[in-house]
Chains A and B, each alone.
Chain A
């Protein structure tokens, strides 16, 4: 058993609930103890850092302080939480002035952070600690013949990535370990527009369209991503792309943990497959 502190992030509880729900049975099957960080707060996310830097650092630091008490690596399945918590962690170490102010603010709540936590992305933990080999050995329903486009998005691999920031391969290996074919496609680590989908939908929908087109042209039957924001854009907004660009995409987008779960023989219900807006049932039926 490997032990971690777990930071789901706000989306995994709501708009990306299939992520939050599918992480737990998969972790159990892979002998990972993911104990949810008690009473965690929003990581601060990109908007906080664009409105007030000190407040943003404090949001992250409260979580880091809570995690330090427990003592294990802090693992999040959300690429945005990962970047935010990881960057704050680095800044608190490198910037004494920021550190001093954050210390004072945390002290009001009798909290203290000494810099001892390692922040990690769940996909990286699956790749490095658990490894594709071990996951492959536990597969009971090999996804033979399924063409999956691994979508890394941005913040899993940039700027703090464990993989190549331009042409990463870790998800390809994880997908292959499940018996599926990892589709090779040019845009696998390009931007989906993230939260601009709300404020500047024209910009984001155009980016999403490019991604879906590129994946489809390369023969993908579905996409897989670890990131809740990417998932919302590609899955939930796919119908908007179809109406704006007169396209007919019907490309299911799975969370990494959902895809792994299917191959490990975890039932569809436990993986919340029915919560995906573009139903993955058609392409997954042979394996369920």
Chain B
């Protein structure tokens, strides 16, 4: 930890700036490290660095350590931290922003299957304009652990038997239009 801080002061500055530039991110400068976020988080025990610590790491410039950790991938977006933080910081939004940075920089960890799931979801939504659950699930299990699919087979069967797992994607009429919008967004280079 100490080594990184000494070696790359420039990165230290840019990491906190990077996070401050996201909507609501600037509030992290006023974090008092009270730990309310971690204490409220239903999944904190699984995080390499739980929410309070993750925020301290952003401020300390420990970019690579944090972005390559499993931390933010355990965020279930329950927003309990967000409504309880005494400094009006939005830890959930910060975790989502850290996820974006981790994916963009190719740092997302393989120790969590969530990054792959999210990517499969996004591909599905982009391809059809709506999420095709069966296709997404199959792709996710093939890319991560096909054996886990066997364990989950009863769930899939339960859905299928109760007419909740259509075998065909539902494609919107404007799928071409949607792609054009997203391509233009890509060309614009991504919002900060």
Contact = CB atoms under 8 A, between A and B. Distances in A.
Contacts of B154: 239-240
Contacts of B121: 45, 47-48, 195
A14 interface: yes
B129 interface: yes
Q: Interface size bucket, B side? A: 35 or more
Interface string A193-204: 111101111011
Given A51-B118, A55-B182, A198-B137, A155 B79 contact: yes
A191 B165 CA distance: 24
Given A14-B133, A191-B42, A51 B125 contact: no
A20 B42 CA distance: 29
A272 to B, nearest CB: 8
Q: Interface size bucket, A side? A: 35 or more
A15 B43 contact: no
Contacts of A39: 172-174
Nearest to B72: A50
Given A42-B125, A45-B125, A165 B178 contact: no
Q: Is the contact region of chain B dominated by helix, strand, or loop, or is it mixed?
A: helix
Contact of B185 (A105, A158, A274, A275): A105
Contacts of A94: 23
Interface in A38-55: 39-42, 44-55
Contact of B164 (A16, A166, A193): A16
Interface string A47-79: 111111111011100100000000000000000
A104 interface: yes
B6 interface: no
A44 B125 contact: yes
Interface of B: 22-23, 42-43, 46, 73-74, 76-80, 82-83, 90, 92, 96-97, 99-100, 103, 112-114, 116-119, 121-122, 125, 129-133, 137, 140, 144, 148, 152, 154-155, 158-159, 162-166, 170, 172-174, 177-178, 180-186, 188, 190-192
Interface of A: 10-11, 13-18, 39-42, 44-55, 57-59, 62, 83, 91, 94-95, 97-98, 101-102, 104-106, 108-109, 111, 154-155, 158-159, 165-166, 190-191, 193-196, 198-201, 203-204, 207, 236-237, 239-240, 274-277
Q: Which 5 A-B pairs have the closest CB atoms?
A: A158-B79, A47-B118, A191-B78, A54-B191, A50-B99
